[in-house]
Amino acid sequence: MRPFDYLAPTDAATAVRTVATNPTATYLAGGTNLVDHLKLGITHPDLLVDTAAITTAGITDHHGGLLIGAATRNSDIAADHRVRTRYPALAEALLSGASGQLRNMATAAGNPLQRTRCPYFQDATTPCNKRRPGSGCAAIGGHTRGHAILGASDHCVATHPSDMAVALTALDATLHILGPDGPRTLPCTDLHRLPGTDPTRDTVLEHGDLITAIELPHNPLARRSRYRKVRDRASYAFALVSVAAALETTDGIITDARLAFGGVAHKPWRAYRAEQALLGQPANDTTYRTAAEAELTDAQPLNGLDGGNSFKVPLLTRTVIATLRNLDQR
């Protein structure tokens, strides 16, 4: 591990200027992803700027919704009664991720910014365009079981690993950001990028941008929301596929819906096409299947040494159906 300075500033604007003007500086929050990457030699910052004293921990009522301070621990968000009753998909997504210890460390801002678990990205000895631009992609033609079926490119086929971000995407959450030019907001649906020709950038954030809070908007629909995750073991494993969903029905007809998928793309995948296919239709399995298939018409499963990931198409379809059916019966 390369030596680095450590700063624990107390003034956010100064900290943002420090990081924005130093390309080798990076923010440290819970450290559960960053410290691992320091050890793995994936990243080599010269300066860590601790966000503990420049961001707040805690959840406040905000315009009928909630404002979650960037430093709020994942476990504290999931335990909050307002989150559990008004945005259950978010609590469920958080609780389906990592372990009790990790959730006590991981923060609201760090979670959506965690990087891919692509095994080649995490192995500094293999080619990886995300880690080393132009070096190639070891996953293509390698092991692709955990990789993308939607929105990938010839440069990178990685998936985004965060469960929380999938729920935030479905629930129309907004990020509050402090940049060198001052504060701004950004919808969570616009945070993550597709890899295209530059997989080095996971998000649209500029270097130095500090996430200060996550806003959950007022929306009664979110009360009827769920997160369902499918993985190789019952606990403590990343998603093969996951679904965040909210559903509103009147007399058996779907009047409003939100759907987002995890484990299938370089970003949490908001399924707008499926949402459209649900509206005005009877709440039944046929409708749910048609909606999932509408979203997955462009799916491009990968071959791989391990058998590839074509299993994700039927698995995701069934997970969508099961999640929506369960919501309708709630």
Partner 1 sequence: MDHHRRVDTEITTRVDGVTRTVLVDTRTTLLDALRERLGTTSPKKGCDHGQCGACTVLLDGRRVLACLTLAVTTTGKDVTTADGLAPDGHLHPVQQAFLDNDALQCGYCTPGQVCSAVGALDELANGHPSHAGDVTTDPQLTRAEIAERMSGNLCRCGTYTNIITAVEQAARA
20 binds partner 1 (CB under 8 A): no
Indicate the residue among 129 and 309 with the shorter CB distance to ligand SF4. 129
Place of tokens 């997160």: 227
The answer to whether 199 touches 158, Cβ cutoff 8 Å, is yes
Among the residue ranges 82-90, 105-113, 275-283, 322-330, the one whose residues contact ligand FAD (CB under 6 A): 105-113
The answer to whether 42 touches 2, Cβ cutoff 8 Å, is no
128 binds ligand SF4 (CB under 6 A): yes
Question: How far lies 273's CA from each of 159, 223, 270, 276, in Å?
Answer: 20, 22, 9, 5
Contact partner, 120, from ligand FAD, ligand SF4, partner 1, none, Cβ < 5-8 Å per class: ligand SF4
The answer to whether 29 touches 109, Cβ cutoff 8 Å, is yes
Structure tokens at 281: 């239709």
41 binds partner 1 (CB under 8 A): no
146 binds ligand SF4 (CB under 6 A): no
Structure tokens at 25: 């500086």
Shortest distance in whole angstroms from residue 22 CB to ligand FAD: 13
Q: Backbone phi, then psi, for 47, in 5-degree steps?
A: -145, 130
- The closest of 245, 305, 311 to 278, measured between CA atoms, is 245
Among the residue ranges 43-51, 251-259, 264-272, 285-293, the one whose residues contact partner 1 (CB under 8 A): 43-51
- The closest of 18, 38, 112, 37 to 72, measured between CA atoms, is 112
Among the residue ranges 81-89, 137-145, 176-184, 291-299, the one whose residues contact partner 1 (CB under 8 A): 81-89
Question: How far lies 75's CA from each of 49, 105, 154, 203, 250, in Å?
Answer: 23, 8, 37, 24, 34
The answer to whether 188 touches 174, Cβ cutoff 8 Å, is yes
CA 44 – CA 106 distance, rounded (Å) = 21
203 binds partner 1 (CB under 8 A): no
Contact partner, 49, from partner 1, ligand FAD, ligand SF4, none, Cβ < 5-8 Å per class: none
Number of residues that bind partner 1 (CB under 8 A): 43
Residues that bind ligand FAD (CB under 6 A): 26-34, 36, 51, 55, 70, 97-98, 102, 105-107, 109-111, 113-114, 161-164, 210-211, 238
- The contact set with partner 1 (CB under 8 A) reads 1, 3-8, 14, 18, 22, 28, 31-32, 35-36, 38-40, 46-48, 50, 52, 75, 78-79, 84-85, 88, 91-92, 95-96, 98-102, 104-105, 234-236
Residues that bind ligand SF4 (CB under 6 A): 116, 118, 120-121, 128-130, 137-139, 156-158, 199
